[in-house]
Amino acid sequence: MAEFDQTKRAFKLRSERWFNDPQDPSMTALYVERQLNFGLTRGELQSGRPIIGIAQTGSDIAPCNRHHIELATRIAAGIRDAGGVPLEFPIHPIQETLKRPTAALDRNLAYLSLVEVLHGYPLDGVVLTTGCDKTTPACLMGAATVNIPAIVFSGGPMLDGHYHGRLTGSGTIVWEARRMLAEGQIDYEGFMDLVASSSTSVGHCNTMGTALSMNSLAEALGMSLPGCAAIPGPYRERGQMAHATGVRIVEMVNANLRPSDIMTKAAFENVVAVASAIGASSNCPPHMVAIARHMGVDHTLDDWQRVGANVPLLVDCQPAGRFLGEKFHQGGGVPAVMKELLAAGRLNPQAMTVTGKTIADNLAKIADGDREVIRAYEKPMKEHAGFIVLTGNLFDTAVMKISVIDAEFRARFLSDPPDIFEGKVVVFEGPEDYHARIEDPDLGVDERTVLVIRNTGPVGYPGAAEVVNMQPPAALLKRGITALPTMGDGRQSGTSASPSILNVSPEAAVGGGLALLQSGDPIRIDLNTRRVDVLIPEAELAVRRAAWVPPVLLSKTPWEEIQRSMVGQLGSGGCLEPATLYLNILETRGES
């Protein structure tokens, strides 16, 4: 490929202030000399080549992203081929299933540390290696704050899992395996084998969980090359995409194409439509709101309701459907989904992307998806498959993911007009309390019960736990009642066929309305008005509020305490609030 003529660049590279400042030879020498000690040459550092960071999220304790260690060599080759110089650096690891108390605690920590690296080192652009759930939002949040040219390179899902001839998907199979173990269909060895069968190869979760959802949405946002998100980790196209991504970031630096050019309000609206169409994880709304806030873009849960609630589900992937990542990729992946939405008028066609072209341009030559896995817009899997945003006298915002709700609940809750559900709450003080008491017959759980869990939000847990999917007690399961409506200030992992009122904000631990609920309180869920209300007099609520004593929050690590002192609520992205004041820092806070 033709190398960019460095003399044609209309602006000075940021890195030249470190490596090539004729006014200050002594500092330049100091900056340059240590970079030479592993074999780089002065020629490479001082010839006006863009210095490109490769933000490495993979490690032995982050196995979902571990293959980025090898893929980085292909990214680096692409950077070299386009005339840049790659410098790989580590990101604080985030692994969803291994980190205690929850990986959600680490998103903001990884974000903070990435901001320091991008701001404090001589980088002209960055490749963000993403994969496991929180690595994608953490990287995009950091790139937004600093606003240097940035491109997402996803690690891709694992290969499809199989067990005795049937598909087994990450996360979803665990629920089924637990049931089979409980019913004696399999023993411990069978249980371990069945769950492990979903973990086939390098890559992140192969279901449409948070990882594949967030990488698909990064692509929909315009921040990765088209087609990047769904390529399975081990496929040769993954390595080829790594090379193409390395080439492209150098071109982006030369064109001065920045996150602020791409992550616009229109782009976030596109994300919302794609989220509905793919059946994205309920963790996506807060992550996207957080990225937008760090970008300084007005994007809130209102946009999720306004743009996405009535978009249909098009993708037949678990947990909302049947297939896994390989089929999604082979069927056309994110571009095929976006093509359907664009033709239906559900996307902003002029949104800019990392290609330097609009999404309409990017999608101009995309073929129709394989209809087995990516449906035509007119023949969707399910109508109205987005997130419903709720409010009421207990909270400001909460979300309900519609695409996974089973047919019976859909008929009741989403009929036109929908049913008004009235029942009584049973309240748990956290996951430990739920597990300890759910089988207690004195709770009086029946088919009109709403299971409530509190103290599981960003401050309470801390970090916000994935615990709002609560199963009914065994007595109800035996009667065939396998799901009840649930509500909580935490998040929800995997799939739940019941209506789940998630991410309740503000959370109980900071005095949100859930803190005032008592088991037995009557509650009404009305999806006509999108309200959830406890049916007790305001005067009684005021008495309870006056008597409320904040829970004692015991932090186990310094970071838990620091995060608790400044984290916001899930409804506004769960951001470190002081950090949201630092927008576009290279321009607004003085380049250094």
- Candidates 132, 217, 464, 575: give the one binding ligand FES (CB under 6 A): 132
The residue type found at 430 is: G
Q: Name the DSSP letter for residue 279.
A: T
d(C-alpha 192, C-alpha 185), whole Å: 13
Closest distance to ligand FES from the beta carbon of 547 (Å): 41
- Give yes or no for a contact between 522 and 424, defined as CB atoms under 8 angstroms apart: yes
Closer of 97 and 113 to ligand FES (Cβ): 97
Radius of gyration of the chain (CA): 24
Order of all β-strands in the sheet with 125-130: 85-90, 51-56, 125-130, 150-154
Among 96, 316, 326, 340, binds ligand FES (CB under 6 A): 96
Q: Which of residues 207-236 bind Mg ion (CB under 5 A)?
A: 210
CB of 97 to ligand FES, least distance (A): 5
132 neighbors 95 (Cβ within 8 angstroms) = yes
Tell me the closest approach of the beta carbon of residue 171 to ligand FES, in angstroms.
Answer: 7
269: contact with ligand FES by CB under 6 A: no
Instruction: Give the position of tokens 């678990």.
Output: 318
Question: What are 14's two structure tokens?
Answer: 């940021």
Site for ligand FES contains 209 (CB under 6 A) = yes
CB neighbour list of residue 196: distance below 8 Å, 6 or more residues apart = none
Query: Judged by CB under 6 A, which of 110, 115, 208, 211 binds ligand FES?
Result: 211
Q: Which is nearer to ligand FES, 130 or 362 (CB)?
A: 130
Distance separating alpha carbons of residues 31 and 45, to the nearest angstrom: 10
Least distance to ligand FES from the beta carbon of 133, Å? 6
Choose which of 493, 496, 505, 563 interacts with Mg ion (CB under 5 A). 493
Beta bridge partners of 90: 56
**Residue of the chain from 204, 238, 329, 564 that contacts ligand FES (CB under 6 A):** 204
Taking CA atoms, 117 is separated from 13, 141, 218, 327, 573, in Å, by 17, 13, 21, 37, 23
The single-letter code of the amino acid at 391 is T
Residue with Cβ nearer Mg ion (205 or 352): 205
Shortest Cβ 463–Mg ion spacing (Å): 12
DSSP 8-state secondary structure symbol assigned to residue 150: E
Q: What is the dihedral of CA 108, 113, 119, 121, to 10 degrees?
A: -160
* Candidate segments 202-210, 300-308, 373-381, 584-592, binder of ligand FES by CB under 6 A: 202-210
262 counts as binding ligand FES under rule CB under 6 A: no
Total site size for ligand FES, rule CB under 6 A: 10
What is the contact mask toward ligand FES in residues 158 to 197, using x (rule: CB under 6 A)? ------------x---------------------------
**Distance between CA atoms of 399 and 416, rounded to whole angstroms?**
20
Bridge partners, 487 (sequence order): 452, 501
Residue type, 34: R
Total interface residues for Mg ion by CB under 5 A: 3
**Shortest approach of Mg ion to residue 205 CB, angstroms?**
8
Query: Looking at 106, 124, 133, 507, which residue binds ligand FES (CB under 6 A)?
Result: 133
Amino acid at 493: S
Positions that interact with ligand FES (CB under 6 A): 64, 96-97, 132-133, 170, 204-205, 209, 211
Q: Can you give the binding site for Mg ion, defined by CB under 5 A?
A: 96, 210, 493
